[in-house]
Amino acid sequence: MHTEPFALTMAAAWGARCRGQGLKVSLKNLTSRAKYAARMKLFEFLGVDPHFVIQEHEEAGRFVPIRNIRTPADIRSVIADVSVLLHLDHDQEALAAVQYCVSELLRNVLEHSQSPDGGFVCAHYYSKSGLKRVSIAIADCGQGIAAHLAATYPDVRGDDEQALALAMLPGITGARPGLYGTSENAGAGLFITRCIAKGSGGYFFLMSGRAAYRLRRSRTAKILVDPMEENHDLWRVRSNWQGTVVAMEIPIDNIADFQEYFKSISDQIPRPDRKHRKIQFT
Amino acid sequence: MTTRIKIVSGTPGFAEDKDAARAIRVKKLLPALSEGKPVILDFRQVRYATQSYIHALVGEVIKRYGEPVLDLISFKNCSPQLQSVISLVVDYSLSGFPQQPSVSNGSTTATEPKQRNSRK
């Protein structure tokens, strides 16, 4: 039975949070159909013995099992594994796009989530049937987006839908108000990763509290600044997710030159005199 | 006298460690520029970098000193991919991001990167 990475990371994050609170996780009706979840190491984070044997095939070329991220060194380790395990060495631009998104999204967790358990990440490279794509997911049980942004944007306190919409705009950071961010944060991470997903024809999913947003797969690479103007779904979910989940898909056959994503975003930056900056590239 | 700073990456060819970028900015870049000395940032060992890394490296410098500081900074051995990220950070550090729409009802702007396999 296949399970998408976002569900695996959510289960791992939730299980770790429960165990951190002294609770014990138990599973019912678990069958060998859950071997994929076992291979992705989900049950290790739940503290559950699945009572069936899995044959551990070589991971390379298929997936990055669930990892718990607590430090910048953990991020570097995952990024290195993305290169080794997904076998994208033949396609440097696609590899860079995946590494880029994993890095930016995990940095968000470490810097903003205040999650006592860190974040959980996994990835799967679907290379055999249909569209070749890499699916990435990152989940945490931290303070959530609304609580993070409310420190500087009080209007979003308690309003998860507004918080999601705001978080995906460029130049928004909970560090302090302003269009230009801080010395360490520009507030562009979610915007650029959304652009990469959209530009490659993949989906982008963001969930926090009682709201979930999905940018649908698209046949056009046109990027809109306002995520609510995109072709999307917005759900008000019944059960609160205390924390944040980000999942995205990168169809690797559609990754153009990596720099095109940044050029296209730069094209939107207002230049009163319409001339390019005198940057010295030597 | 020119200050030469070699940029290295934790992952081969991929610079994403913001803490390392911040350390370079605080310990080397800002002190040199505050004295009006030219600086060479040598990216020979880096092919890709995240926007967060470049922002932590030069974002504050550009905001503090404005566009004239670009005459003092030389970005050496940059791949086209790095040049595009640096250009983005320079642009928004000087001009901000596009006018942001209100969350619920705003105007939009559009742009379009190239895809390898155009599916239009």
Place of tokens 């460690």: B17
Place of tokens 């934790």: B10
The CATH-assigned architecture of domain B3-95 is 2-Layer Sandwich (3.30)
Confidence of residue B12 (pLDDT cuts 50, 70, 90): confident
Number of domain units in chain A: 1
Whether A101 contacts A123, CB under 8 Å: no
Measured between beta carbons, which residues in chain B are less than 8 angstroms from residue A258?
Answer: 48, 81, 84
Picking from B8, B100, B89, B14, the residue whose alpha carbon sits closest to that of residue B52 is B89
Confidence of residue A204 (pLDDT cuts 50, 70, 90): very high
Cβ separation A170–B60 shorter than 8 A:
no
Does B56 lie at the interface with A, CB-CB under 8 angstroms? yes
Picking from A207, A133, A201, the residue whose alpha carbon sits closest to that of residue A168 is A207
State the best of B2, B73, B116, B117 to mutate against chain A, taking most chain A CBs within 10 Å.
Answer: B116
The pLDDT of A33-57, averaged and rounded, is 84
Cβ separation B10–A76 shorter than 8 A:
yes
**pLDDT for B73:** 97
Q: B37 CA to chain A: closest CA distance, Å?
A: 15
Confidence of residue A263 (pLDDT cuts 50, 70, 90): confident
**pLDDT for B16:** 94
Q: A36 CA to chain B: closest CA distance, Å?
A: 29
* pLDDT at A269 > cutoff 70: no
Whether B98 contacts B109, CB under 8 Å: yes
Cβ separation B100–A256 shorter than 8 A:
no
CA pair distance B55, A189, nearest whole angstrom: 11
Query: The domain containing residue A257 runs over which residues?
Result: 5-265
The chain-wide mean pLDDT, for chain A, equals: 87
Q: A141 CA to chain B: closest CA distance, Å?
A: 23
* pLDDT at A52 > cutoff 80: no
**pLDDT for A43:** 94
Q: Please state the pTM of the whole predicted model.
A: 0.89
Confidence of residue A177 (pLDDT cuts 50, 70, 90): very low
CA pair distance A249, A196, nearest whole angstrom: 9
Q: How far is CA A1 from CA A35, A54, A117, B97, in A?
A: 7, 14, 28, 44
CA pair distance A80, A99, nearest whole angstrom: 8
Cβ separation B98–A261 shorter than 8 A:
no
Instruction: Specify the CATH number for the domain of residue A238.
Output: 3.30.565.10
Picking from A40, A186, A189, the residue whose alpha carbon sits closest to that of residue A109 is A189
**pLDDT for A270:** 65
**Which letter, b or e, does each residue of B5-35 get, where b requires 16 or more Cβ atoms within 10 Å of its Cβ?**
bebebbbebbbbbbebbbebbeeebbebbee
Secondary structure (3-state) at B72: coil
Q: Where are the domains of chain B?
A: 3-95
Does B22 lie at the interface with A, CB-CB under 8 angstroms? yes
Cβ separation B85–A262 shorter than 8 A:
yes
A40: left (phi over 0), alpha (psi -120 to 50) or beta: alpha
Does A279 lie at the interface with B, CB-CB under 8 angstroms? yes
Does A230 lie at the interface with B, CB-CB under 8 angstroms? no
**pLDDT for A175:** 63
- B17 → chain A, closest CA residue: A72
- Residue A270 covered by a domain: no
Whether A261 contacts A195, CB under 8 Å: yes
Range of lowest pLDDT (A3-7, A220-224, A246-250, B43-47)? A220-224
Q: What is the ipTM of this complex?
A: 0.88
Does A234 lie at the interface with B, CB-CB under 8 angstroms? no
**pLDDT for B105:** 32
Picking from A122, A232, A248, A233, the residue whose alpha carbon sits closest to that of residue A197 is A248
